Structure 1
Amino acid sequence: MDYLRSYKNIYDQNIILMYKGELTFDLVTSMIATLEERLEELEENRKVKKKFYNVATECIQNLYYHLDEVNSDEIRISSYDSRSALILIAARKRFYSLQTGNYIPTEKTEEVKKRLDDINAVEPDELRALYKQALKEQEFSDKGTGGLGFIDIARKTGGQKLRYKFQPVTDNVSYFTLQVRLPREI
Protein backbone atom coordinates (compact mmCIF):
# COMPACT_ATOMS: atom_id res chain seq x y z
CA MET A 1 0.00 0.00 0.00
CA ASP A 2 2.93 2.38 0.55
CA TYR A 3 3.65 2.47 -3.18
CA LEU A 4 0.06 3.67 -3.82
CA ARG A 5 0.51 6.47 -1.29
CA SER A 6 3.85 7.41 -2.91
CA TYR A 7 2.28 7.40 -6.37
CA LYS A 8 -0.66 9.52 -5.17
CA ASN A 9 1.75 11.98 -3.55
CA ILE A 10 3.76 12.30 -6.78
CA TYR A 11 0.57 12.61 -8.83
CA ASP A 12 -0.88 15.24 -6.46
CA GLN A 13 2.35 17.25 -6.62
CA ASN A 14 2.15 17.36 -10.45
CA ILE A 15 5.68 16.05 -10.85
CA ILE A 16 6.87 16.52 -14.43
CA LEU A 17 10.30 15.00 -14.01
CA MET A 18 12.06 13.45 -11.04
CA TYR A 19 15.50 11.88 -11.07
CA LYS A 20 18.13 10.96 -8.52
CA GLY A 21 21.33 9.24 -9.56
CA GLU A 22 24.33 9.45 -11.81
CA LEU A 23 24.10 11.86 -14.73
CA THR A 24 25.51 11.07 -18.14
CA PHE A 25 25.42 13.08 -21.34
CA ASP A 26 22.88 10.69 -22.89
CA LEU A 27 20.66 10.88 -19.82
CA VAL A 28 20.78 14.71 -19.84
CA THR A 29 19.81 14.71 -23.51
CA SER A 30 16.95 12.30 -22.82
CA MET A 31 15.70 14.34 -19.84
CA ILE A 32 15.62 17.53 -21.87
CA ALA A 33 13.67 15.80 -24.67
CA THR A 34 11.21 14.32 -22.14
CA LEU A 35 10.77 17.70 -20.50
CA GLU A 36 10.00 19.29 -23.85
CA GLU A 37 7.32 16.65 -24.54
CA ARG A 38 5.77 17.06 -21.10
CA LEU A 39 5.65 20.84 -21.42
CA GLU A 40 3.85 20.50 -24.76
CA GLU A 41 1.13 18.56 -22.92
CA LEU A 42 0.94 20.81 -19.86
CA GLU A 43 1.48 24.41 -20.89
CA GLU A 44 -0.59 26.38 -23.38
CA ASN A 45 1.24 29.69 -23.01
CA ARG A 46 4.08 29.52 -25.55
CA LYS A 47 6.08 32.24 -23.82
CA VAL A 48 5.96 30.47 -20.45
CA LYS A 49 6.72 27.13 -22.09
CA LYS A 50 9.78 28.51 -23.86
CA LYS A 51 11.12 30.29 -20.79
CA PHE A 52 10.66 27.32 -18.51
CA TYR A 53 12.18 24.92 -21.01
CA ASN A 54 15.24 27.20 -21.30
CA VAL A 55 15.55 27.55 -17.50
CA ALA A 56 15.22 23.81 -16.92
CA THR A 57 17.71 23.04 -19.68
CA GLU A 58 20.21 25.48 -18.18
CA CYS A 59 19.80 23.95 -14.70
CA ILE A 60 20.17 20.37 -15.92
CA GLN A 61 23.20 21.23 -18.06
CA ASN A 62 24.79 23.10 -15.13
CA LEU A 63 24.48 19.96 -13.03
CA TYR A 64 26.15 17.86 -15.69
CA TYR A 65 28.99 20.30 -16.37
CA HIS A 66 29.95 20.68 -12.71
CA LEU A 67 29.59 17.11 -11.43
CA ASP A 68 33.26 16.23 -11.83
CA GLU A 69 34.45 18.97 -9.47
CA VAL A 70 34.19 16.67 -6.45
CA ASN A 71 36.67 13.90 -5.65
CA SER A 72 34.80 10.57 -5.81
CA ASP A 73 36.72 9.19 -2.83
CA GLU A 74 35.24 11.90 -0.60
CA ILE A 75 31.66 10.90 -1.42
CA ARG A 76 31.97 7.14 -1.16
CA ILE A 77 31.94 7.62 2.61
CA SER A 78 28.26 8.50 2.40
CA SER A 79 27.39 5.72 -0.12
CA TYR A 80 26.70 8.20 -2.92
CA ASP A 81 28.66 8.75 -6.07
CA SER A 82 30.16 12.18 -6.80
CA ARG A 83 28.32 12.17 -10.16
CA SER A 84 25.01 11.72 -8.38
CA ALA A 85 22.48 14.49 -8.81
CA LEU A 86 18.88 15.31 -7.95
CA ILE A 87 16.39 16.87 -10.34
CA LEU A 88 12.78 17.56 -9.39
CA ILE A 89 10.49 19.51 -11.70
CA ALA A 90 6.86 20.14 -10.79
CA ALA A 91 3.94 22.11 -12.21
CA ARG A 92 2.06 24.00 -9.53
CA LYS A 93 -1.09 26.00 -10.13
CA ARG A 94 0.66 29.40 -10.33
CA PHE A 95 4.28 28.46 -11.05
CA TYR A 96 6.70 25.80 -12.18
CA SER A 97 9.18 24.63 -9.60
CA LEU A 98 12.58 23.21 -10.38
CA GLN A 99 14.95 21.89 -7.76
CA THR A 100 18.42 20.51 -8.35
CA GLY A 101 20.98 19.07 -5.99
CA ASN A 102 24.60 18.07 -6.41
CA TYR A 103 27.85 17.71 -4.54
CA ILE A 104 30.21 20.66 -4.60
CA PRO A 105 33.69 21.21 -3.12
CA THR A 106 33.19 23.02 0.18
CA GLU A 107 35.89 25.49 -0.85
CA LYS A 108 33.59 26.70 -3.67
CA THR A 109 30.49 27.29 -1.54
CA GLU A 110 31.39 30.88 -0.62
CA GLU A 111 32.05 31.76 -4.26
CA VAL A 112 28.72 30.27 -5.39
CA LYS A 113 26.86 31.86 -2.44
CA LYS A 114 28.32 35.28 -3.27
CA ARG A 115 27.36 34.91 -6.95
CA LEU A 116 23.79 33.93 -6.04
CA ASP A 117 23.46 36.67 -3.42
CA ASP A 118 24.73 39.27 -5.91
CA ILE A 119 22.15 38.11 -8.47
CA ASN A 120 19.35 38.06 -5.89
CA ALA A 121 20.25 41.60 -4.79
CA VAL A 122 19.75 43.04 -8.29
CA GLU A 123 16.37 44.31 -9.46
CA PRO A 124 14.84 42.30 -12.33
CA ASP A 125 15.32 45.14 -14.83
CA GLU A 126 19.05 45.31 -13.95
CA LEU A 127 19.71 41.63 -14.72
CA ARG A 128 20.30 42.25 -18.42
CA ALA A 129 23.04 44.78 -17.66
CA LEU A 130 24.57 42.37 -15.14
CA TYR A 131 24.52 39.63 -17.80
CA LYS A 132 26.26 41.86 -20.37
CA GLN A 133 28.85 42.95 -17.82
CA ALA A 134 29.56 39.34 -16.81
CA LEU A 135 29.78 38.35 -20.47
CA LYS A 136 32.43 41.04 -21.05
CA GLU A 137 34.45 40.17 -17.94
CA GLN A 138 34.20 36.37 -17.92
CA GLU A 139 36.70 34.00 -19.36
CA PHE A 140 35.26 30.71 -20.46
CA SER A 141 36.33 27.63 -18.53
CA ASP A 142 37.67 24.48 -20.13
CA LYS A 143 34.08 23.20 -19.99
CA GLY A 144 32.93 26.06 -22.21
CA THR A 145 30.97 27.77 -19.46
CA GLY A 146 31.38 31.38 -18.48
CA GLY A 147 29.50 31.45 -15.19
CA LEU A 148 26.50 33.15 -16.79
CA GLY A 149 23.99 30.39 -16.03
CA PHE A 150 22.62 31.75 -12.75
CA ILE A 151 22.16 35.23 -14.21
CA ASP A 152 20.42 33.78 -17.25
CA ILE A 153 18.11 31.72 -15.04
CA ALA A 154 17.19 34.77 -12.96
CA ARG A 155 16.52 36.78 -16.14
CA LYS A 156 14.25 34.13 -17.61
CA THR A 157 12.27 33.70 -14.40
CA GLY A 158 11.44 37.40 -14.32
CA GLY A 159 13.81 38.17 -11.48
CA GLN A 160 12.50 35.48 -9.14
CA LYS A 161 14.93 35.00 -6.27
CA LEU A 162 17.12 31.93 -6.63
CA ARG A 163 16.78 29.88 -3.45
CA TYR A 164 19.69 27.76 -2.37
CA LYS A 165 21.21 25.79 0.47
CA PHE A 166 24.59 24.19 1.22
CA GLN A 167 24.77 21.20 3.54
CA PRO A 168 28.17 19.87 4.69
CA VAL A 169 28.74 16.20 3.79
CA THR A 170 32.43 15.90 4.73
CA ASP A 171 35.09 18.48 5.53
CA ASN A 172 35.76 18.91 1.81
CA VAL A 173 32.34 18.31 0.24
CA SER A 174 28.94 19.99 0.58
CA TYR A 175 25.59 19.29 -1.02
CA PHE A 176 24.26 22.24 -3.02
CA THR A 177 20.52 22.59 -3.55
CA LEU A 178 19.07 25.19 -5.92
CA GLN A 179 15.36 25.95 -6.23
CA VAL A 180 13.95 28.02 -9.07
CA ARG A 181 10.37 29.15 -9.67
CA LEU A 182 8.85 30.44 -12.87
CA PRO A 183 5.39 32.04 -12.77
CA ARG A 184 2.91 30.36 -15.12
CA GLU A 185 1.50 33.76 -16.09
CA ILE A 186 3.86 36.21 -17.73
Structure 2
Amino acid sequence: MEPEGSGLFDATDPEPEPEETIPPGKPGDTTNGEQCGPTQAVYTPKTKGAKYHKGVGPTNANYNATSRTACSTFTSEVTGEVGVSVTADLTTGVDVMIAKIEGKYDVNLSAKLTAKMGNQISVDTPPKTTTNARYGVYRLKSTGTSYKIYSNCKTSAVKTNTSYTPMKVGWALWEG
Protein backbone atom coordinates (compact mmCIF):
# COMPACT_ATOMS: atom_id res chain seq x y z
CA MET A 1 0.00 0.00 0.00
CA GLU A 2 2.55 2.53 -1.14
CA PRO A 3 1.53 5.58 -3.23
CA GLU A 4 3.58 5.77 -6.37
CA GLY A 5 2.16 8.79 -8.16
CA SER A 6 -0.21 6.92 -10.46
CA GLY A 7 -1.52 8.81 -13.45
CA LEU A 8 1.80 10.56 -13.99
CA PHE A 9 4.24 10.34 -16.87
CA ASP A 10 7.98 10.73 -17.08
CA ALA A 11 8.76 14.32 -17.96
CA THR A 12 11.70 14.96 -20.23
CA ASP A 13 12.61 18.30 -21.71
CA PRO A 14 15.80 18.22 -23.78
CA GLU A 15 15.90 22.01 -24.14
CA PRO A 16 14.65 23.61 -20.92
CA GLU A 17 13.06 27.01 -21.02
CA PRO A 18 15.11 29.92 -19.57
CA GLU A 19 14.39 30.89 -15.99
CA GLU A 20 12.38 33.97 -15.15
CA THR A 21 14.49 37.12 -15.56
CA ILE A 22 11.85 39.83 -15.31
CA PRO A 23 9.10 40.34 -12.80
CA PRO A 24 5.97 38.75 -14.27
CA GLY A 25 2.77 40.65 -14.84
CA LYS A 26 -0.42 39.23 -13.47
CA PRO A 27 -1.43 36.04 -15.29
CA GLY A 28 -4.06 36.89 -17.88
CA ASP A 29 -2.81 40.45 -18.50
CA THR A 30 -3.49 41.52 -22.06
CA THR A 31 -1.26 44.58 -22.32
CA ASN A 32 -0.60 45.47 -25.98
CA GLY A 33 2.48 47.03 -27.49
CA GLU A 34 4.94 46.24 -24.69
CA GLN A 35 8.03 44.17 -25.28
CA CYS A 36 8.88 41.73 -22.49
CA GLY A 37 11.75 39.98 -24.24
CA PRO A 38 11.80 36.33 -25.25
CA THR A 39 9.09 33.98 -24.01
CA GLN A 40 9.81 32.90 -20.45
CA ALA A 41 8.50 30.03 -18.38
CA VAL A 42 7.66 30.70 -14.73
CA TYR A 43 7.36 28.03 -12.03
CA THR A 44 6.35 28.73 -8.43
CA PRO A 45 6.41 25.97 -5.79
CA LYS A 46 3.31 26.01 -3.56
CA THR A 47 3.42 22.99 -1.23
CA LYS A 48 6.05 20.53 -0.08
CA GLY A 49 4.54 17.10 0.44
CA ALA A 50 5.72 13.78 1.82
CA LYS A 51 8.49 11.54 0.51
CA TYR A 52 7.30 8.53 -1.49
CA HIS A 53 9.33 5.44 -2.29
CA LYS A 54 9.45 4.19 -5.88
CA GLY A 55 10.71 0.61 -5.86
CA VAL A 56 13.18 -0.83 -8.33
CA GLY A 57 12.74 -4.58 -8.68
CA PRO A 58 10.67 -6.89 -6.49
CA THR A 59 9.64 -6.45 -2.88
CA ASN A 60 11.51 -8.92 -0.67
CA ALA A 61 9.97 -10.51 2.44
CA ASN A 62 11.17 -12.71 5.29
CA TYR A 63 8.86 -14.41 7.82
CA ASN A 64 10.30 -15.15 11.25
CA ALA A 65 8.42 -18.23 12.50
CA THR A 66 10.45 -18.47 15.72
CA SER A 67 9.69 -17.15 19.18
CA ARG A 68 12.81 -14.95 19.15
CA THR A 69 13.87 -11.90 17.16
CA ALA A 70 15.82 -12.85 14.05
CA CYS A 71 18.09 -10.89 11.72
CA SER A 72 16.81 -10.52 8.14
CA THR A 73 19.24 -9.52 5.39
CA PHE A 74 17.93 -8.21 2.08
CA THR A 75 19.89 -7.64 -1.13
CA SER A 76 18.73 -5.57 -4.10
CA GLU A 77 18.36 -7.81 -7.15
CA VAL A 78 18.30 -5.32 -10.03
CA THR A 79 19.62 -1.93 -11.09
CA GLY A 80 17.05 0.66 -12.12
CA GLU A 81 16.71 4.36 -12.79
CA VAL A 82 13.92 6.51 -11.36
CA GLY A 83 13.18 9.93 -12.80
CA VAL A 84 10.86 12.86 -12.21
CA SER A 85 7.14 12.23 -12.62
CA VAL A 86 4.97 15.26 -13.19
CA THR A 87 1.40 15.94 -14.25
CA ALA A 88 0.90 17.19 -17.78
CA ASP A 89 0.30 20.79 -16.65
CA LEU A 90 3.99 21.75 -16.33
CA THR A 91 4.85 24.61 -18.72
CA THR A 92 8.49 24.99 -17.67
CA GLY A 93 11.43 22.66 -18.11
CA VAL A 94 11.99 20.04 -15.42
CA ASP A 95 15.34 21.65 -14.50
CA VAL A 96 13.60 25.00 -13.82
CA MET A 97 11.03 23.26 -11.61
CA ILE A 98 13.73 21.38 -9.67
CA ALA A 99 15.80 24.55 -9.10
CA LYS A 100 12.77 26.46 -7.78
CA ILE A 101 11.73 23.61 -5.42
CA GLU A 102 15.31 23.24 -4.12
CA GLY A 103 15.59 26.98 -3.51
CA LYS A 104 12.28 27.30 -1.68
CA TYR A 105 12.51 24.20 0.53
CA ASP A 106 16.31 23.86 0.94
CA VAL A 107 16.38 20.28 -0.38
CA ASN A 108 18.66 18.45 -2.84
CA LEU A 109 16.82 16.92 -5.78
CA SER A 110 17.80 15.19 -9.02
CA ALA A 111 16.15 14.69 -12.38
CA LYS A 112 16.98 10.97 -12.02
CA LEU A 113 18.74 8.61 -9.63
CA THR A 114 19.93 5.03 -10.06
CA ALA A 115 19.32 2.31 -7.47
CA LYS A 116 21.99 -0.35 -8.02
CA MET A 117 21.97 -4.11 -7.71
CA GLY A 118 23.82 -5.66 -4.78
CA ASN A 119 22.95 -3.12 -2.05
CA GLN A 120 22.28 -4.90 1.28
CA ILE A 121 20.47 -4.10 4.49
CA SER A 122 20.07 -6.15 7.68
CA VAL A 123 17.21 -5.56 10.12
CA ASP A 124 15.65 -7.26 13.11
CA THR A 125 12.45 -9.20 12.43
CA PRO A 126 10.28 -9.72 15.53
CA PRO A 127 8.88 -13.18 16.35
CA LYS A 128 5.93 -14.40 14.23
CA THR A 129 6.31 -11.36 11.94
CA THR A 130 7.15 -10.74 8.28
CA THR A 131 9.60 -7.99 7.41
CA ASN A 132 9.23 -6.54 3.90
CA ALA A 133 11.97 -4.64 2.09
CA ARG A 134 11.97 -2.78 -1.20
CA TYR A 135 15.00 -1.00 -2.67
CA GLY A 136 14.54 2.08 -4.80
CA VAL A 137 14.40 5.86 -4.78
CA TYR A 138 12.68 8.27 -2.41
CA ARG A 139 10.93 11.11 -4.26
CA LEU A 140 9.59 14.37 -2.88
CA LYS A 141 5.98 15.15 -3.73
CA SER A 142 5.31 18.82 -4.34
CA THR A 143 2.78 21.03 -6.05
CA GLY A 144 3.34 24.25 -7.92
CA THR A 145 2.05 26.56 -10.58
CA SER A 146 3.50 27.39 -13.95
CA TYR A 147 2.75 29.71 -16.83
CA LYS A 148 4.50 31.51 -19.67
CA ILE A 149 5.16 35.20 -20.25
CA TYR A 150 5.22 35.90 -23.99
CA SER A 151 7.28 38.57 -25.76
CA ASN A 152 4.21 40.85 -25.99
CA CYS A 153 3.82 40.64 -22.16
CA LYS A 154 0.70 38.46 -22.37
CA THR A 155 0.66 35.40 -20.15
CA SER A 156 -0.72 31.93 -20.56
CA ALA A 157 -3.21 30.46 -18.11
CA VAL A 158 -1.74 29.45 -14.76
CA LYS A 159 -1.54 25.67 -14.46
CA THR A 160 -1.21 23.70 -11.24
CA ASN A 161 0.87 20.53 -11.28
CA THR A 162 2.02 17.79 -8.95
CA SER A 163 5.52 16.36 -9.19
CA TYR A 164 7.51 13.51 -7.63
CA THR A 165 11.21 14.40 -7.78
CA PRO A 166 14.05 12.00 -6.81
CA MET A 167 15.87 12.82 -3.55
CA LYS A 168 17.86 9.77 -2.47
CA VAL A 169 18.33 6.06 -3.00
CA GLY A 170 17.39 3.73 -0.16
CA TRP A 171 15.29 0.96 1.33
CA ALA A 172 11.64 1.07 2.34
CA LEU A 173 10.99 -1.37 5.22
CA TRP A 174 7.71 -2.42 6.84
CA GLU A 175 6.32 -5.25 8.88
CA GLY A 176 3.10 -7.01 8.26
Q: Same fold (TM over 0.5)?
A: no
After TM superposition, the score normalised by the length of structure 2 is 0.25
More strand by share: 2
Higher alpha-carbon Rg: 2
With CA pairs under 8 Å and 6+ residues apart, which has the higher RCO, 1 or 2? 2
